[in-house]
Amino acid sequence: MSIINTEKPVLVLDERRCKRNIKKMAEKAERAGCRFRPHFKTHQSIEIGKWFKEAGVRGITVSSTGMASYFASAGWNNITIAFPFFRQQLPALSELEKQANLRLFVNSAGDLEALNSELLNDFEVIVEINPDVGRSGIHYQKTDTIRELIQKCEKLAKTTFYGFYVHDGRTYQAKGKTEVENIIQPTISILNGLKSEFPQASITLGDTPSASLLDQFPGIDELTPGNFVFYDWMQVQIGSCSLDDVALFALLPVAQYFSDENRAILHGGATHLSKDFVLTNGNQNFGQLLNFTNSSIKAVQHSFITALSQEHGTLSALPENIDDKSAWICPIHSCLTANLHDHYITTDGKRIEKRILS
C-alpha cells in the first residue's frame, strides 16, 4: 500500500467494510420494522454520508448545530439534533431551519415557547428519556413533566410531538449479548410503559451495542446508532462486532524501536487517538496492535499501546524481531479518534474529507 510510508499518523478506512456495516444496519432496522436515522457524529463526513444515502437513508441524527449545518450544506434536510436544546442555539437554529426540517430535544415548556416564537417553520419535538443513567433528558418517572411537555406541543402552533429517545450509555460497559440485553431490556420496558401512557409517541433507541446485538426491538420505532459505521476495539470487546467488521484503523509511524525490550515508540499520541482506553488484563489499552496483511487483519495478542502522551504512544509486548516502519492500530473509540483528524485515506489510497472540531 502506498500509504505505508507515511510520516504522519493517518486514519485508514476500509470502504468495503464501512459500506457493509451501513447496509447491514439498514437491513436489520428494516427487518425489525424500525426506521433508521443514523447518527453521523462518528464519521462526520459528507462523502461517507453519501454511502448512507445510497443505502436508502433520508433522515439523520447529529449532536450539534454545527454538525447539522455541515450535513445540511450537503442536502440532508431531515435532521435530529440529539442534544438538549438550550436557548443560545436559537440563532443557529433559525439559520438551519432554512435548509432542513428539524427534530429537537426539548426539556421544558419555556424552551418550547421560545422555539415556537423564534423559529419560522414547524419542527418536531423529542422528549429525551433518562432511564436513570444520570445524563441528559427527563427521568422516566417524571410523567407529569413529560405530559406537560406533550400537551404544550399540542397547544403551540409550530410544534409536533414526535416521541421519546433513549441513549443508554450503560451498554458500553457491557460484555457480550446477554449483558447488553440485561441492561437494555429494562430500558425498553420503561419505554413501552411510557408508550402505553402516551400512545402517540414514537420510540427511538440510540446506542450501538443494542442496535448491533439485539435481533428484535419490541415497541421501538426508530434506531439511531452511529459508531457502527466504523466500530472499534471497544465494540469488539463488548461483542457488538468482530474485528472483521472494524472499518477504521490508525496507521502510526514507528519512531523508535527497542528490540531488547520488545517495545516501540509510535508517532501517535493523545492528539491522534484520544485518551479513551479499555482494560486488557488489568492494563490500560489505548490502541490494539494489528497484524495487517492483504488477506486478513488479526489482533496481535498482548501487544497494545500502554501509555500515551501528547504525541508519543508506547507500544508494548511486541512479538520479537518486528521491524516495521509503521504500526496498524485498532482505535479504542473511533468516534473520538476520528474527531482528531480532518480526513481518512481508504485502503486503496483515496482521500475522504471530513469535518473537524465539534
Query: Applying CB under 8 A, which residues contact a second copy?
Result: 5-8, 41, 63-66, 83-89, 91-92, 107, 134-137, 169, 253-256, 263, 265, 267, 269-272, 274-276, 307, 309-312, 314, 325, 335-336, 339-342, 356-358
What DSSP element (H or E) covers 118? Answer: helix 109-118
Q: How far is the CB of 8 from a second copy (least distance, A)?
A: 7
Tell me whether residue 91 or residue 218 sits nearer to a second copy (CB atom). Answer: 91
Whole-number Å distance between alpha carbons of 246 and 233: 8
List, in sequence order, every residue forming a beta bridge with 13; answer none if it has no partner. Answer: 248, 346
Q: How far is the CB of 44 from a second copy (least distance, A)?
A: 10
Work out whether the CA dihedral 32, 36, 39, 42 comes out positive or negative. Answer: positive
Tell me whether residue 148 or residue 311 sits nearer to a second copy (CB atom). Answer: 311
Q: How far is the CB of 357 from a second copy (least distance, A)?
A: 6
Q: How far is the CB of 270 from a second copy (least distance, A)?
A: 5
Q: How far is the CB of 116 from a second copy (least distance, A)?
A: 19
**Cα-trace Rg, the chain:** 22
Q: Is 66 helix (H, G, I), strand (E, B) or coil?
A: helix
Q: How far is CA 305 from the centre of its chain?
A: 23
Tell me whether residue 17 or residue 355 sits nearer to a second copy (CB atom). Answer: 355
Tell me whether residue 89 or residue 159 sits nearer to a second copy (CB atom). Answer: 89
Whole-number Å distance between alpha carbons of 53 and 45: 13
Tell me whether residue 199 or residue 282 sits nearer to a second copy (CB atom). Answer: 282
What DSSP element (H or E) covers 203? Answer: strand 202-205
Whole-number Å distance between alpha carbons of 188 and 208: 15
